């Protein structure tokens, strides 16, 4: 007897999703036999908006790309812009940037731990972790004046100093999170129900992670030793020996499942606390901005012709920015952002195939997806203003390449 | 049917709905306090029902409309009838002469079955997956539930709940049988969250997976009826556990010389207190401290572990009788 197949649409609006994306799953009983992931529901044209503004305005616009890791995009932006402009932030500013970046990593990881617990119906854990996270947000508010969009970075430095009076509060917070993180490790890694729901779920092999271009904790959980902070160090990371946290260093083997990714994130919190502590102890004295005058900075941007690619290791993986200054305007003439979720969403379809319906929320949550980081599509129109579909675009590209080859006399 | 039975038959459902909703409110509040939240006021479930009754009832286009609309009524009727079979403290159950533990077992099943049928009838994929899960879950927890009831029948040589309530089980059973009854209690407590579709066994409704499953398409009046039947069933299940395992009255414990209205009022409050304790321990505490299982994990838990506990309990009762 043929089994009845159901078509289960998850999204664009679904309790498991906090932002719009669509997972179309065909299920037989509980088993998923066919899956398709569709994206592009949250296009906001933020890059286009950035290209119409000056660089400082664009920097604060970049903070609005993502709601959770609102420092990741400005961090990548300032690193890239400084590279393109040929300026370097003062050492003290670099250390402050690193501290804020790491604070944000901790709060993002704790947030994720709560979300993944919620996805499996463990709401008590969600409330507990989010309650624990509050203290970090308080510290961020103390340092920057804001809890979400900090507006503290600047091209060539930072806008606020970490004073002596702040240091004690941060150190208190570090000792609080050392204990809290031990408790979290105990709860998440030893809880039999959590283990039963995550062991073997969303299992990504090292080979698959490399093939699918997974980044960040997702790749690290699969055993791929990659981390921008380790591979292309910038700011204070250059002075610190940051090593990518991989499960094989912790328990001897990497299985790449949702349990491993929990472990990686929990140990990354410890690593971040170490980095913050190091930065506080070794913080150099000095000024905060390379070019303190905004008018002078914008004038320099207007004079500069250049382009650069810069990256920052966000809590979810690597954020890559490309900026081009054309020497005519005080803003970027081209600004392109690549967010980590874009790579990591590719892992959904192969992982969901053959999985159970009950695993959909965990597979969806384990990469910590961020749709608003993601959806910045490009629409190409022809001479008559009609949108060109992907197939036509591909055909035209192939035709153009052939034409070029013929003109240049290149044989294939 | 005596006039007394008739009065009971009218007051019990009203009281049942009221108490069910109050207990639901306390449950939500207690759960919130356990997770460092303030929680909604205890009267929130009343407002919820009121609001649902005012809302429009939507029937999906590809649903089998008459089944879809009839099922909430069946479900509500089943839980109401269930209430009429449970002796309320020292009061007799209104329908005590017309059925026994077996009927209670059927009524409990009927409600789950009704929800599964409603899920299939709504024609939504989420509901269908939810209904399938409910059926699997039902098949898993029915066996330990039946074992508990058989254990009691073996002990009392009767299925009558009033007989069981009037003589506490711990006085009837010998030491060996008492151990067996203790195991049966553990098994019944494990079955309770599954029977009431609460965490960790709310697999059929799993909000983050299948958007409340069988209830996904229900709205307005229909959803209000499901909400009410859920509230009543929660109260009835806790009351059933009290009646089976903790039927001690205050008069028995302290030898109080109470008579008349005072006697009934004190015993009723004592009964409500016992039900509340069981409700909070077996439902609220469990649903606050567990993650949701996958369906095959839940089946395994019931078929293997809970079944073994129940069967060992039954064997001990059999040896001890």
Residue of B nearest to A7 (CA): B125
List Cα–Cα distances, B64 to A291, B71, B110, in angstroms: 71, 11, 19
Q: In the predicted model, is pLDDT for residue A254 greater than 90?
A: no
Residue B230 to residue B216: CA distance in whole angstroms: 15
Distance between A396 CA and the closest CA of chain B, angstroms? 41
Q: In the predicted model, is pLDDT for residue B25 greater than 90?
A: yes
CB contact under 8 A, A9 and B294: no
Which residue carries 């059925």 as its tokens? B99
Q: At A179, which CATH number?
A: 1.10.645.10
Per DSSP, the three-state class of B305 is helix
Residue A198 lies in a domain: yes
Residues belonging to the binding site of A for Fe cation are 69, 373
CB contact under 8 A, A121 and B128: no
- Identify the burial level of B101 via C-beta atoms within 10 angstroms of its C-beta, where 0-12 means exposed, 13-18 middle and 19 or more buried: buried
Residues belonging to the binding site of A are 47, 66, 69, 337, 370, 373
Which candidate from A125, A191, A357 shows the least CB-CB separation from B210?
A: A357
Residue A81 lies in a domain: yes
Determine which of B40-44, B72-76, B263-267 has the lowest per-residue pLDDT on average: B263-267
Contacts of residue A175, defined as CB under 8 A and 6 or more positions apart, other chains included, come to none
**Rg, Å, chain A Cα set:** 23
* A104–chain B Cβ distance below 8 A for any pair: no
Q: Count up the domains in chain A and report the number.
A: 1
Dump pLDDT digits (tens) for A224-235.
898 888 888 888
Residue A347 to residue A367: CA distance in whole angstroms: 9
Q: Which residue has the higher pLDDT, B252 or B63?
A: B63
Residue A181 corresponds to which tokens in the numbers above? 């993180």
Q: For chain B, what is the mean pLDDT? A: 84
Q: Which residues of A104-113 are buried (b: 16+ CB within 10 A; e: fewer)?
A: bbbbbbbbbb
Cis check for the bond before B209: say yes or no (omega within 30 of 0). Answer: no
The length of chain A in residues reads: 412
Q: Give the Cβ contact number of residue B295 at 10 Å.
A: 24
Closest by CA position to B134, among listed B204, B198, B71, B195: B204
* A197–chain B Cβ distance below 8 A for any pair: yes
H/E segment holding residue A335: strand A334-338
A22-28 and A31-38 strand pairing:
antiparallel
| DSSP assignments along A286-307, one per residue | S-SBSS--HHHHHHHHHH-EEE
Distance between A302 CA and the closest CA of chain B, angstroms? 50
Mean of pLDDT values over A280-309: 90
* A305–chain B Cβ distance below 8 A for any pair: no
Residue A176 lies in a domain: yes
Residue A167 to residue A276: CA distance in whole angstroms: 11
- Give chain B's count of helices (H) and strands (E): 15, 0
The DSSP code for A347 is G
Closest by CA position to A297, among listed A146, A48, A84: A84
Closest by CA position to B289, among listed A111, A185, A127: A127
Distance between B31 CA and the closest CA of chain A, angstroms? 9
Residue ranges of the domains in chain B?
Answer: 3-320
Residue A133 corresponds to which tokens in the numbers above? 């996270």
Q: Which residue has the higher pLDDT, A67 or B73?
A: B73
Which candidate from B35, B200, B295 shows the least CB-CB separation from A358?
A: B295
CB contact under 8 A, B200 and A15: no
Model-level ipTM above the cut of 0.95: no
Are A19 and A369 a contacting pair, CB within 8 Å? yes
Are B128 and B120 a contacting pair, CB within 8 Å? yes
- Identify the burial level of A257 via C-beta atoms within 10 angstroms of its C-beta, where 0-12 means exposed, 13-18 middle and 19 or more buried: buried
H/E segment holding residue A25: strand A22-28
Mean of pLDDT values over A183-201: 87
- Identify the burial level of A171 via C-beta atoms within 10 angstroms of its C-beta, where 0-12 means exposed, 13-18 middle and 19 or more buried: middle
User: Which residues of chain B have a CB within 8 Å of the CB of A118?
Assistant: 208
At A376, the pLDDT band (50, 70, 90 cuts) reads low
List Cα–Cα distances, B174 to B37, B171, B310, in angstroms: 45, 8, 18
Cis check for the bond before B160: say yes or no (omega within 30 of 0). Answer: no
Residue A116 to residue A129: CA distance in whole angstroms: 11
Distance between B268 CA and the closest CA of chain A, angstroms? 33
CB contact under 8 A, A121 and B208: yes
Cα A55 → chain centroid: 22
Which candidate from A30, A121, A123 shows the least CB-CB separation from B35?
A: A123
CB contact under 8 A, B209 and A360: yes
The neighbouring-strand residues paired with A24 are A9, A36
Which residue carries 């600047």 as its tokens? A154
Q: Give the Cβ contact number of residue B33 at 10 Å.
A: 13
CB contact under 8 A, B200 and A8: no
Are B111 and B232 a contacting pair, CB within 8 Å? no
* A7–chain B Cβ distance below 8 A for any pair: yes
H/E segment holding residue B217: none
Residue B295 to residue A16: CA distance in whole angstroms: 18
Q: Which residues numbered 14-33 in A keep a CB inside 8 Å of some CB on B?
A: 14-16, 27, 29-30
Are A354 and A31 a contacting pair, CB within 8 Å? yes
Residue A70, pLDDT score = 85
At A379, the pLDDT band (50, 70, 90 cuts) reads low
Residue A86 lies in a domain: yes
Residue A378, pLDDT score = 58
List Cα–Cα distances, A272 to A178, A362, B128, B145, in angstroms: 11, 25, 45, 51
Dump pLDDT digits (tens) for A80-92.
999 999 999 999 9
CB contact under 8 A, B293 and A196: yes
CB contact under 8 A, B209 and A128: no
Q: Which residues numbered 131-190 in A keep a CB inside 8 Å of some CB on B?
A: 131
Are A311 and A320 a contacting pair, CB within 8 Å? yes
CB contact under 8 A, A124 and B297: no
Contacts of residue B174, defined as CB under 8 A and 6 or more positions apart, other chains included, come to B320, B321
Residue A3 lies in a domain: no
Q: For chain A, what is the mean pLDDT? A: 86
Residue B52 corresponds to which tokens in the numbers above? 């649902």
Q: Name the residue range of residue A113's domain.
A: 46-339
* A225–chain B Cβ distance below 8 A for any pair: no
User: Which residues of chain B have a CB within 8 Å of the CB of A23?
Assistant: none
* A121–chain B Cβ distance below 8 A for any pair: yes
* A105–chain B Cβ distance below 8 A for any pair: no
Mean of pLDDT values over B27-53: 91
Q: Of A13-27, A203-217, B156-170, where does the model show the most confidence? A: A203-217
Distance between A195 CA and the closest CA of chain B, angstroms? 10
Residue A140 corresponds to which tokens in the numbers above? 């961020």
CB contact under 8 A, B294 and A359: yes
Distance between B293 CA and the closest CA of chain A, angstroms? 7
Chain B contacts to A (CB-CB under 8 A) = 34-37, 125-126, 128-129, 132-133, 199-200, 202-203, 206-211, 288-297
Residue A10 lies in a domain: no
Residue B30, pLDDT score = 92
Q: In the predicted model, is pLDDT for residue A190 greater than 80?
A: yes
| DSSP assignments along B35-83, one per residue | TT-----TTHHHHHHHHHHHSPPP--TTS-HHHHHHHHHHHHHHHHHHH
Residue B24, pLDDT score = 92
Residue A98, pLDDT score = 92
Q: Which residue has the higher pLDDT, A224 or A376?
A: A224
Residue A206 lies in a domain: yes
Q: In the predicted model, is pLDDT for residue A179 greater than 90?
A: yes
Dump pLDDT digits (tens) for B47-74.
999 999 998 888 888 888 888 889 999 9
The DSSP code for A359 is G
At A1, the pLDDT band (50, 70, 90 cuts) reads very low
Residue B291 corresponds to which tokens in the numbers above? 């993650």
How much of chain A, in percent, has pLDDT values that exceed 90?
23
Dump pLDDT digits (tens) for B84-122.
888 776 777 777 767 778 888 888 888 888 888 888 888
Residue A386 lies in a domain: no
CB contact under 8 A, A121 and B202: yes
């Amino acid at each position: 007897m043929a089994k009845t197949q159901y078509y289960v649409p998850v999204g664009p609006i679904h309790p498991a999703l906090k932002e719009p994306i669509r997972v179309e799953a065909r299920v037989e009983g509980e088993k998923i036999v066919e899956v398709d992931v569709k994206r592009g529901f949250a296009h906001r044209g933020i890059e286009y908006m950035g290209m119409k503004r000056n660089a400082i305005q664009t920097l604060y616009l970049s903070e609005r790309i993502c709601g959770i890791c609102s420092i990741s995009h400005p961090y990548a932006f300032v690193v890239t812009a400084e590279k393109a402009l040929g300026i370097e932030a003062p050492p003290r500013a670099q250390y402050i940037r690193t501290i804020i970046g790491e604070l944000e990593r901790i709060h993002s990881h704790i947030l994720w731990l709560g979300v993944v617990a919620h996805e499996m119906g463990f709401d008590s854990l969600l409330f507990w972790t989010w309650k624990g996270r509050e203290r970090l947000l308080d510290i961020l508010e103390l340092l920057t004046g804001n809890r979400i969009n900090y507006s503290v970075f600047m091209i060539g430095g930072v806008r606020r100093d970490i004073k002596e009076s702040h240091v004690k509060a941060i150190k208190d917070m570090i000792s609080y999170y050392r204990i809290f993180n031990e408790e979290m490790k105990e709860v998440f890694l030893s809880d039999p129900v959590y283990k039963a729901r995550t062991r073997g779920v969303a299992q990504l092999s090292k080979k698959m992670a490399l093939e699918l271009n997974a980044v960040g904790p997702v790749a690290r959980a699969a055993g791929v030793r990659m981390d921008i902070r380790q591979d292309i160090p910038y700011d204070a990371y250059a002075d610190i020996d940051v090593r990518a946290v991989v499960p094989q260093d912790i328990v001897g083997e990497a299985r790449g499942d949702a349990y491993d990714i929990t472990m990686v994130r929990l140990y990354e919190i410890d690593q971040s606390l170490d980095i913050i502590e190091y930065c506080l102890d070794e913080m150099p004295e000095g000024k905060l901005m390379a070019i303190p005058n905004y008018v002078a900075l914008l004038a320099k941007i207007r004079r500069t012709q250049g382009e650069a690619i810069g990256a920052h290791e966000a809590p979810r993986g690597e954020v890559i920015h490309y900026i081009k200054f054309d020497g005519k305007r005080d803003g970027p003439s081209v600004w392109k952002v690549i967010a980590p979720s874009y790579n990591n969403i590719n892992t959904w379809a192969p992982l969901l195939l053959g999985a159970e319906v009950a695993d959909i929320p965990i597979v969806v949550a384990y990469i910590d997806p961020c749709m608003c980081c993601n959806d910045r599509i490009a629409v190409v129109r022809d001479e008559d203003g009609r949108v060109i579909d992907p197939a036509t675009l591909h055909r035209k590209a192939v035709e153009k390449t052939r034409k070029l080859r013929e003109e240049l006399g290149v044989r294939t | 049917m005596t006039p007394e039975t008739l009065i009971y038959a009218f007051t019990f459902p009203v009281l049942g709905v009221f108490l069910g909703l109050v207990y639901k409110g306390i449950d939500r509040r207690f759960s919130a306090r356990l997770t460092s939240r303030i929680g909604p006021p205890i009267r929130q479930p009343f407002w919820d029902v009121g609001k649902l009754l005012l809302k429009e009832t939507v029937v999906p286009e590809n649903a089998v409309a008459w089944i879809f609309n009839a099922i909430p009524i069946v479900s509500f009727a089943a839980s109401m009838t269930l209430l009429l079979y449970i002796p309320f403290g020292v009061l007799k159950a209104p329908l005590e002469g017309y059925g026994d533990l077996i009927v209670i077992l059927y009524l409990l099943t009927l409600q789950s079955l009704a929800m599964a049928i409603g899920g299939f009838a709504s024609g939504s994929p989420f509901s269908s997956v939810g209904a399938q899960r409910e059926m699997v879950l039902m098949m898993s927890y029915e066996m330990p539930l039946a074992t508990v009831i058989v254990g009691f029948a073996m002990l009392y040589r009767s299925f009558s709940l009033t007989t069981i309530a009037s003589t506490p089980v711990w006085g009837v059973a010998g030491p060996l049988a008492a151990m067996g009854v203790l195991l049966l209690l553990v098994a019944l407590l494990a079955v309770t969250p599954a029977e009431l579709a609460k965490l960790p066994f709310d697999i059929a409704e799993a909000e983050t997976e299948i958007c409340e499953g069988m209830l996904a398409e229900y709205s307005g009046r229909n959803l209000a009826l499901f909400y009410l039947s859920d509230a009543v069933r929660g109260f009835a299940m806790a009351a059933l556990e009290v009646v089976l395992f903790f039927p001690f009255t205050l008069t028995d414990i302290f030898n109080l010389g109470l008579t008349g209205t005072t006697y009934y009022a004190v015993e009723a409050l004592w009964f409500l207190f016992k039900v509340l304790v069981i409700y909070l321990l077996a439902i609220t505490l469990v649903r606050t401290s567990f993650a949701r299982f996958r369906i095959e994990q839940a089946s395994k838990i019931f078929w293997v572990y809970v079944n073994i506990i129940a069967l060992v309990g039954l064997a001990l009762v059999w040896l001890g009788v």
